[in-house]
Amino acid sequence: MPKVVDHQARRVQIADAVQALITEQGLDRVTMARTAATAGVSVGHVQHYFPTKDEMLLFTHERVVQKTLDRVSALRDRAARQQLPIRDVVAEGLAEWLPADPRRRSAHRVALAFVGRTVDNPRLARAHAETGRLIRSMLATAIQNGKECGEVPHDTDPALTALELHSLAEGLALQLGSDPDATAASAALAVVTARVQTAFPGHCRQYERPAG
């Protein structure tokens, strides 16, 4: 009976090797040979799934982003179960993009490597732009939901506030990327929490029981 090959698992195996190399040594050290050695496969195996370095980087970046989005989704699910205000989900969700611990620093290094390659690769540039639009769309939805439940003032522009929060998180991520000090990380998280609190100053009514 022929062996069934899980192609997605093979791609993930290679992507994890790329992320490990970027995290430990930087993008310049990512080659087909080093990736193959780190993943424990042959060079031909790597080239079969990813003919170019940029294709490896694209898939690795997509995987890192998806893992972060999955954690944000888990936050939303937990908030619904625990009846937490939307501001808590937004603050914790934005914090997932900050390199405040080894896991998030690894993801951030992949993101920086990816952004650097977007200058010369239109396909990577489009993927980067799509990721940004998705994050801002999720933030805008949370802000609109906040308006409907009473946490956010009615005159708030969801798109503009989403852009501001996203830009704040990206800027802080860059700062932490160059200064991964525990104090700096704590300060960055405090800044995000304070700004989200300003955007969501009200009380959420969605969990209140009707009177009577």
Say if CB 93 and CB 136 are below 8 A apart: no
Q: In whole angstroms, what is the distance from residue 95 CA to residue 113 CA?
A: 20
- Res 86 pLDDT > 90: yes
> Is the CATH code 1.10.10.60 the one for domain 1-51?
yes
pLDDT the model gives residue 80: 86
Say if CB 124 and CB 118 are below 8 A apart: yes
DSSP 96-110: TTS--SHHHHHHHHH
User: Tens of pLDDT along 43-79?
Assistant: 999 999 999 999 999 999 999 999 999 999 999 899 8
pLDDT the model gives residue 3: 58
Alpha-carbon separation of residue 158 from 74, 118, 143 (angstroms):
22, 28, 6
DSSP 123-173: HHHHHHHHHHHHHHHHHHHHHHHHHHHTSS-TT--HHHHHHHHHHHHHHHH
User: Tens of pLDDT along 101-153?
Assistant: 999 999 999 999 999 999 999 999 999 999 999 999 999 999 999 999 999 99
Per domain, the residue ranges of the chain are 1-51, 52-199
Q: Which CATH class is domain 52-199?
A: mainly alpha
Q: In whole angstroms, what is the distance from residue 185 CA to residue 40 CA?
A: 35
Q: What is the pTM of this model?
A: 0.90
What is the DSSP-derived secondary structure letter of residue 121? -
pLDDT category at 36 given cuts 50, 70, 90 is very high
User: Tens of pLDDT along 190-207?
Assistant: 999 999 999 999 998 876
pLDDT category at 2 given cuts 50, 70, 90 is low
Averaged pLDDT, 37-44: 96
- Res 154 pLDDT > 90: yes
